[in-house]
Structure 1
Amino acid sequence: MQKKGWLFRSVLFAAIGYLANFAIAAEPSATSQTLYAAGKQKSFKGPDTYFTGDVKVDMLFPGNDTAHYSGAYVTFQPGARTAWHSHPAGQHMVVTSGTGFTGTRDGKIIEITEGDSLWCPPNIDHWHGATLGSSMTHLVVTGSKDGENVVWKKKVTDSEYLGNDQGKVNMKSDKSADALTSKQQHMVPVAAFTANGDLQRLDAAIIAALDAGLSVNELKEIMIHLYAYAGFPRALNGLATLMNTVEARKAAGIKDETGEEAAALPANKTSQEYGEEVQTELVGKPVTGPLFDFAPAINIFLQSHLFGDLFGRGILDYKGREIATVSALASMDGVDSQLKSHIGIASNVGLTKQQLTALASVLSDNVGTEEGARTQQAIQAVLAGDD
């Protein structure tokens, strides 16, 4: 893809060498400064040929006959990244916001965050993009050699993107996450993205969860369970995303474990009888109060359907269901009282304060800092005296 002459060099995509359709500015004067005014340069969506996900490129300045380099801001939405590529003259990157990854063929992946600078030497195959839990913008200054500033290669696969040296997805940037098992950690973003409706990030989280050993039925059960908290529309969208992801993996030759099937309720009890027992066990005492006096039907539905029909299905244990519930509630606005209630329930079913803190850490790293902070505040409010 080598192109000769200043006109072609001036319109090369600064981030990774994508060729634009026209010159960005007139040829610089040899005797005066040239202004490239803010907002006047070309902006465009990163082409699907060279990117996965949603990427925006904002050109800053072209190369010229004296300075054989160009510059651009490139913004990656969560989960987005470049294809594999190299730069004949190398590239500088400066992260201006968010958190991202850059990886090389040796399997090493470097996490980069706001303020970090990185130099990629000439002819090194690499990729870069955002994490699953954060967008990322970087300023790139890309050199050109003999009129060429990039050599494009194959797109980065999901397994290459997710298979970093910190574990599947960025689950252990904070060592406190180790209090949860790998499978429990991967339940957190699946539940959060199901509840908040972010299906693009849910797809990536499902892939990571399957690769970490969660079965298809365990992931189904998270979404079935969450209909009681996030509603049928979000649960159905989540299940459709899971179905499409599993079918795509199957077509690619990846065999995922189906997992165990749902259990039947005890034959000698109604759903409400069984559910009342489960509710009492989870909360630690029979549930009463002014709200249920005001609307007793809602507690009947909670007992018979949520704690009876859903909790009685098995597949996920109580800890797993509470990990999913807390993760979902933390990702929804206006449900802080319910989040606090389920922090208490999670503690009652055996999740320690350390494990719940780990859950908050996973949310911060992979979903959003607001969700993580919200969970940590609820933990402190409910379990302030527990160490």
Structure 2
Amino acid sequence: MTSINPKGDQQPDTYFTGTVFANLVVTPADNLSSVIGKMTFEPRARTNWHTHSVGQVLIVTQGVGYYQETGQPAVVIREGDVVKIAPGMLHWHGASHHSSLTHTAIVPSAQPDGTTWLQPVTEEEYDAAVPATDSIPAPVHLTEAAHRNHEALWPEYKSRAKATDPELIEVFDNFAFDEVISHDELPVKTRVMVILASTIGSQALSEYKMTMDAALNVGVTPVEIKEILYQSVPYVGISKVLDFIYATNQKFTQRGINLPLAGRQSTTTRETRYDAGFAVQKQIVGARLDELYAQSPEDLLHIQRYLSANCFGDFYTRQGLDLKMRELVTLSYLVALGGTDAQIKGHVTGNVNVGNDRQTLINVLTQLLPYVGYPRTLNAIACLNGILPA
């Protein structure tokens, strides 16, 4: 068995211009009916002009590039495009000016030496290859810190948006990965975990998947990710969390993490969950908890008991996250949800009661800003100032 995922070996400049990697996964030695490989071209990299005696099929899997046949204008190829190249057709292909290109190449024959390599594609030919209908995106200029911080989360990640929306990526990445991160010394694991929690509150499944990858890359454990997910259920609702659970399980499987995770994190039973939950809730809410019970109408007292037994007894008493982190991720759900000012104020107090000070909460809100936006961040700051004045 082999894998198509690695980039493979960097290719010599005999048949290529620029930096090109090849991972040949089905070779003539396999005695099958095709030769199949993955090719990755860095920006501006391309093949020489060449032909295939039996033709070729290219399946673009990532990035943006160009394909040109002799005597024809070049065409732009993007993820999802399939290029069918006739036998003997003189052509070249490669990455666009400002985006890398990855494609699977299939030669429908096991016979070796079916490729005839000719002269390189000159700079003039390459620059002229951009169709008039396809503008060349401006290069994305990231600060050294933005690039370094982004690479720490997603090593060698190739952004599709960088090719299609370079101006936005330049503004966002320099802000989120340099200016905002440079604001404070919040530990990277804490930063990624609160952002992960906020994506659940925002119902941002695509960003959640990206952030989950980053979390695993910086050492957040599968148990910690699952605990952030599970604790979101009483705050966001199971109907909004299920898709995130399925996406998490899919990612864990892809990364070789066995499911269900080993070890039981629950510390309560049906008989002990209320008392244990009430005790944890009292630690977080403080003396006001007794007032909430005393002030509750009789016909709503069951809701108070649900909060103690379910929200706190079933979830807050679990292992995997300590109380300080649980309060930070809860605050992150609430900020991202919006319209939860009363609950945010309660959990600002809760954070203080478990040991998270005003500066820690300011740091968390600062890191959440690029992901939840200014209105919800400013509302949360107003709640913070109302409870913990500067």
- TM-score surpassing 0.5? yes
Matched, 1:264 2:270: no
The corresponding residue for 1:187 is 193
How far apart in 2 are the matches of 1:341 and 1:188? 18
Pair 225,111 (structure 1): closer, same or farther in 2 beyond 3 Å: closer
Give the aligned residue type for 2:279. Answer: E
In the aligned structure 1, how far is the partner of 2:301 from the partner of 2:179? 44
Tell me, in whole angstroms, the C-alpha distance in 1 between the residues paired with 2:220 and 2:245: 15
Distance 2:333 2:204 in 1: 12
- 1:17-62 CA-partner distances (Å, limit 9, x unpaired): 6579xxxxxxxxxxxxxxxxxxxxxxx9x83259xxxxxxxxxxxx
Distance in structure 1 (CA, Å) of the matches to 2:340 and 2:286: 21
Corresponding residue for residue 318 of structure 1? 323
Higher helix share: 2
1:206 aligns with 2:209: no
| Deviation by residue 1:172-224 (Cα, 9 ceiling, x = unmatched) | 7333341x322111111211111222111110000001111111111111111
Q: In terms of Rg, which structure is larger?
A: 2
1:27 — aligned with what? Answer: none
Contact kept? 2:64, 2:100, Cα under 8 Å? no
| Alpha-carbon distance between aligned partners in 2 of 1:361 and 1:298, rounded to the nearest angstrom | 33
Q: What residue in structure 1 maps to residue 73 of structure 2?
A: none
Instruction: Give me the TM-score of the superposition, normalised by structure 2.
Output: 0.57
Secondary structure at 1:109 match in 2: helix
Match of 1:138 in 2: 167
User: Does residue 335 of structure 1 match 2:340?
Assistant: yes
Structure 2: unaligned runs, 5 residues or longer: 1-45, 50-62, 69-75, 82-97, 103-122, 151-155
SS of residue paired to 1:316: coil
Match of residue 246 from structure 1: 252
Call closer, same or farther: CA 1:262–1:209 in 2, change over 3 Å: same
**Over the residues paired in the alignment, what is the CA RMSD in angstroms?**
4.7
Q: Secondary structure in 2 aligned to 1:314?
A: coil
Distance 1:314 1:214 in 2: 15
Match of residue 70 from structure 1: none
Equivalent position SS for 2:167:
strand
What percentage of aligned pairs have identical amino acids?
A: 21
What do residues 332-368 of structure 1 show as CA deviations (whole Å, max 9, x unaligned)? 1321211121111111111111111111111113443
Matched residue SS, 1:188: helix
SS in 2 for 1:306: helix
How many angstroms apart in 1 are the aligned matches of 2:348 and 2:378?
14
In the alignment, what sits opposite 1:279?
281
- Structure-2 residue corresponding to 1:64: none
Q: 1:201 to 1:282 in 2, by over 3 A?
A: same
Q: Deviations over 1:135-166 (max 9, x none)?
A: 95639xxxxxxxxxxxxxxxxxxxxxxxx999
Q: Does 1:109 align with 2:114?
A: no
TM-score when normalising by structure 1: 0.57
Q: Could you say which residue in structure 1 is the equivalent of 2:308?
A: 303
Give the residue type in structure 2 aligned to 1:348: N
CA contact (8 A) 1:343 1:382 kept: yes
Are 2:243 and 1:226 aligned? no
1:381/1:293 CA distance change after superposition, 3 Å:
same
Q: 1:127 to 1:224 in 2, by over 3 A?
A: closer
Give yes or no for contact 1:192–1:327 (8 Å, CA) kept in 2.
yes
Residues 1:18 and 1:234: Cα distance change in structure 2 (over 3 Å): farther
| Partner residue, 1:373 | 378
Shift of the 136–378 alpha-carbon distance from structure 1 to 2, 3 Å rule, reads farther
Closer, same or farther in 2 for the Cα pair 1:316/1:108, shift >3 Å?
A: closer
Within a 5 Å distance, the mapping from 1:60-99 to structure 2 comes to: 82-83=99-100
> Which whole-Å CA distance do the structure 2 matches of 1:48 and 1:293 have between them?
59
Contact 1:102 1:126 in 2 (8 A): no
Tell me which of 207, 215, 223 is aligned to 2:221.
215
- TM-aligned CA deviation for residue 111 of structure 1: 9.9
Change (3 A) 1:198 1:108: closer
For the 8 Å contact 1:196–1:234, the answer to whether it is kept is: no
Rounded to whole Å, the distance in 1 between the matches of 2:158 and 2:142 is 6
**Who is 1:363 aligned against?**
368
Does the CA-based 8 Å contact 2:198-2:335 persist in structure 1? yes
Contact 2:65 2:100 in 1 (8 A): no
Q: Deviations over 1:251-278 (max 9, x none)?
A: xxx899x6864042289x7221111111
Consecutive unaligned residues of structure 1, counting only runs of 5 or more, are 5-14, 21-43, 51-80, 113-124, 140-163
How many residue pairs are counted as aligned between the two chains?
272
The answer (yes or no) to whether the contact 1:363–1:372 under 8 Å persists in 2 is: yes
8 Å CA contact retained: 1:103, 1:126: no
Q: Give the residue type in structure 1 aligned to 2:265.
A: A
Structure 2 CA distance for aligned equivalents of residues 349 and 203 of structure 1? 30
